[in-house]
């Protein structure tokens, strides 16, 4: 039988026993910390940059059975990234530049499959309308490629355009092409869905330039882990990490997009009544996206803005930019002439010197890859770019596409095509 004295004696001993147990746990934790090693000791590939190129590269590598870590200083599709924001265009017509047409055609099924499995749509099949003066070579070349590759499309002269899209003011002598299989992508959410589908966590680490341990022939990561291969898919930050090699070859420029709100009940500026559209006039492209997911009618002028620092640039719309957009909308979309500005965004292109992507090894380091130079048209081709990078890592003998090589990147003014 337990006596009151025995019970009190036992209770008195509890603080001592608890203190001893706590001390033992503390000692074990302390020892564990001293012996602690990175959660992941070693991976096949570390991908630096969780934008559209980095996310799809990680996705393809993981599907191929490789171990991967994915890093981004600000997080996936963050507000400073070129892959962030509301929407992007996916189209296939690129004039005579069929390498990008092929990449868009290769990328589209990946976006569609991702969209089908996502909680909310990533791909909106609005179609893409391209209009330009009659006789425009780029339009004729795009049409020829669509026809040769049996890509769904319609075409017509200014009468066809005006009858089909009465909410747009067309000019005499214009003709147009409507790609029926393409449309718009939801950008920031799309990148996040790629990463979720890959089942990988983005680690918020500022990654330095590559550090190769000659003793073990592996690249050291900031937390002490290692990787056989590094992929730097850092967009406008590539030149910052590799200034001696890429300064002036990858340049970030400031870009503005604007969202105008149609009146209540006016559905002319939303799908299915309006597709993604692009006005090509003497080489100056203005393009837009219909009202998707309540974001409003989007317009952007595809001309490179001033060079900026993606870390520090202020991201407020300029009065001059808003005025230019309003004037264009009033001319081409008279039903929106008095529409309010309901949103906008300041982002950046990361332009390569020749407008082509950069997908090549870092000079002198066979297992370090530089991936970037989206130049205003890279988002749509994220799946194809990631697939290409993964293929190079899986097969070191796969030749580099000459146009994407480091050697072709000079320091001349960049061009863009949305």
Question: Does 3 map to a domain?
Answer: no
Structure token pair of residue 292: 């998707």
Q: What is the mean pLDDT of the chain?
A: 89
**Is-contact 290 269, C-beta < 8 A?**
yes
Structure token pair of residue 191: 């990148």
Render pLDDT for 358-417 as a digit per residue (tens, 0 to 9): 999 999 999 999 999 999 899 999 999 999 999 999 999 999 999 999 999 986 444 556
Q: What is the pLDDT of residue 249?
A: 92
Q: What is the pLDDT of residue 217?
A: 84
Q: Tell me which residue has tokens 């030749």.
A: 399
Q: What would the 3-class secondary structure string for 41-103 be?
A: CEEEEEEECCCHHHHHHHHHHHHCCCCEEEECCCCCCCCCCCCCCCEEEECCCCCCCHHHHHH
**Is-contact 112 123, C-beta < 8 A?**
yes
Instruction: Report whether pLDDT(13) > 70.
Output: no
Instruction: Report whether pLDDT(21) > 60.
Output: no
Render pLDDT for 190-212 as a digit per residue (tens, 0 to 9): 999 999 999 999 999 888 888 77
Q: What is the pLDDT of residue 271?
A: 98
Instruction: Report whether pLDDT(418) > 80.
Output: no
Return the CATH number at 319: 3.30.9.10
Render pLDDT for 332-362 as a digit per residue (tens, 0 to 9): 999 999 999 999 999 999 999 889 999 999 9
Q: What is the pLDDT of residue 36?
A: 47
Q: What is the pLDDT of residue 39?
A: 62
Question: Does 122 map to a domain?
Answer: yes
Render pLDDT for 123-167 as a digit per residue (tens, 0 to 9): 999 999 999 999 999 999 999 999 999 999 999 999 999 999 999
Report the relative pairing of strands 87-90 and 183-186 from DSSP bridges.
Answer: antiparallel
Provide the residue count of the chain.
418
Nearest to 377 by CA among 88, 84, 58, 59: 88
Q: What is the pLDDT of residue 213?
A: 76
Render pLDDT for 25-70 as a digit per residue (tens, 0 to 9): 445 444 444 444 546 689 999 999 999 999 999 999 999 999 999 9
Instruction: Report whether pLDDT(11) > 70.
Output: no
Residue 116, domain extent: 42-408
Mean pLDDT in residue range 211-229: 87
Instruction: Report whether pLDDT(269) > 90.
Output: yes
Q: What DSSP letter does each residue of 274-293 carry, written as one string?
A: S-EEEEEETTEEEEEE---T
CA angle 343, 345, 351 (to 5 degrees): 155
Instruction: Report whether pLDDT(3) > 80.
Output: no
Q: At what angle do helices 137-148 and 98-117 cross, to 10 degrees?
A: 60
Nearest to 298 by CA among 331, 259, 335: 259
Question: Does 90 map to a domain?
Answer: yes
Judged on CB neighbours under 10 Å (0-12, 13-18, 19+), 377 is: buried
The domain tally of the chain equals 1
Question: Does 167 map to a domain?
Answer: yes
Question: Does 211 map to a domain?
Answer: yes
Question: Does 13 map to a domain?
Answer: no
Q: What is the pLDDT of residue 216?
A: 77
**Cβ-based neighbours of 318, under 8 Å, separated by 6 or more:** 256
**Cβ-based neighbours of 335, under 8 Å, separated by 6 or more:** 167, 262, 266, 268, 269
Instruction: Report whether pLDDT(20) > 80.
Output: no
Q: What is the pLDDT of residue 411?
A: 67
Q: Tell me which residue has tokens 């697939």.
A: 387
Long-range contacts of 73-76 (CB under 8 A, 24+ apart): 73/204, 73/205, 73/206, 73/207, 73/237, 74/204, 75/50, 75/202, 75/204, 76/50, 76/51, 76/191, 76/192, 76/195, 76/202
Q: How far apart are CA 14 and CA 4, in angstroms?
A: 16
Report the relative pairing of strands 250-260 and 276-281 from DSSP bridges.
Answer: unpaired
pLDDT over 70 percentage in the chain: 88
Please, what sign has the CA dihedral across residues 307, 309, 310, 315? negative
**Is-contact 233 68, C-beta < 8 A?**
no
**Is-contact 51 191, C-beta < 8 A?**
yes
Render pLDDT for 277-333 as a digit per residue (tens, 0 to 9): 999 976 689 999 999 999 999 999 999 999 999 999 999 999 999 999 999 999 999
User: Which 8-state DSSP code applies to residue 356?
Assistant: S
Question: Does 26 map to a domain?
Answer: no
């Amino acid at each position: 039988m337990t006596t009151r004295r025995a019970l009190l004696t036992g209770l008195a001993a509890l603080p001592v026993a608890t203190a001893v147990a706590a001390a033992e746990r503390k000692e074990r934790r302390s020892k564990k910390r001293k012996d602690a090693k990175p959660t992941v000791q070693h991976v096949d590939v570390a991908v630096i940059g969780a934008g559209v190129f980095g996310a799809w590269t990680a996705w393809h590598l993981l599907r191929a059975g490789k171990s991967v870590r994915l890093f981004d200083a600000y997080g996936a599709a963050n507000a400073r990234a070129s892959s962030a924001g509301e929407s992007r265009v996916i189209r296939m017509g690129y004039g005579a530049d069929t390498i990008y047409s092929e990449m868009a055609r290769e990328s589209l099924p990946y976006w569609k499959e991702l969209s089908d499995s996502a909680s909310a749509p990533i791909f909106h099949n609005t179609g893409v309308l391209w209009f330009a003066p009659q006789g425009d070579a780029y339009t004729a070349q795009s049409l020829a490629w669509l026809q040769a590759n049996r890509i769904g499309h319609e075409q017509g002269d200014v009468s066809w355009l005006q009858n089909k899209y009465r909410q747009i003011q067309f000019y005499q002598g214009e003709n147009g092409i409507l790609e029926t299989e393409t449309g718009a992508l939801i950008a920031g959410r799309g990148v996040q869905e790629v990463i979720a589908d890959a089942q990988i966590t983005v680690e918020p680490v500022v990654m330095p330039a590559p550090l190769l341990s000659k003793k073990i022939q592996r690249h050291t990561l900031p937390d002490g882990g290692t990787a056989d291969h590094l992929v730097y898919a850092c967009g406008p930050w590539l030149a910052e990490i590799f200034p001696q090699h890429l300064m002036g070859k990858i340049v970030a420029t400031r870009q503005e997009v604007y969202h105008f709100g149609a009146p209540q009940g006016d559905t002319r500026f939303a799908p299915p009544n309006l597709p993604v559209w692009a006005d090509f006039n003497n080489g100056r492209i203005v393009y837009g996206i219909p009202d998707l997911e309540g974001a409003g009618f989007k317009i952007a002028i595809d001309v490179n803005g001033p060079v900026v620092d993606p870390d520090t640039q202020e991201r407020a719309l300029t009065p001059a930019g808003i005025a230019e957009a309003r004037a264009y909308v009033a001319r081409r979309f008279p039903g929106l002439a008095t529409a309010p500005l309901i949103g906008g965004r300041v982002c950046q292109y990361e332009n390569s010197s020749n407008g082509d992507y950069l997908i090549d090894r870092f000079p002198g380091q066979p297992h370090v890859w530089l991936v970037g130079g989206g130049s205003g048209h890279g988002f749509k081709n994220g799946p194809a770019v990631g697939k290409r990078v993964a293929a190079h890592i899986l097969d070191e003998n796969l030749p580099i596409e000459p146009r994407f090589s480091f050697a072709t990147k000079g320091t001349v003014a960049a061009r863009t095509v949305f």
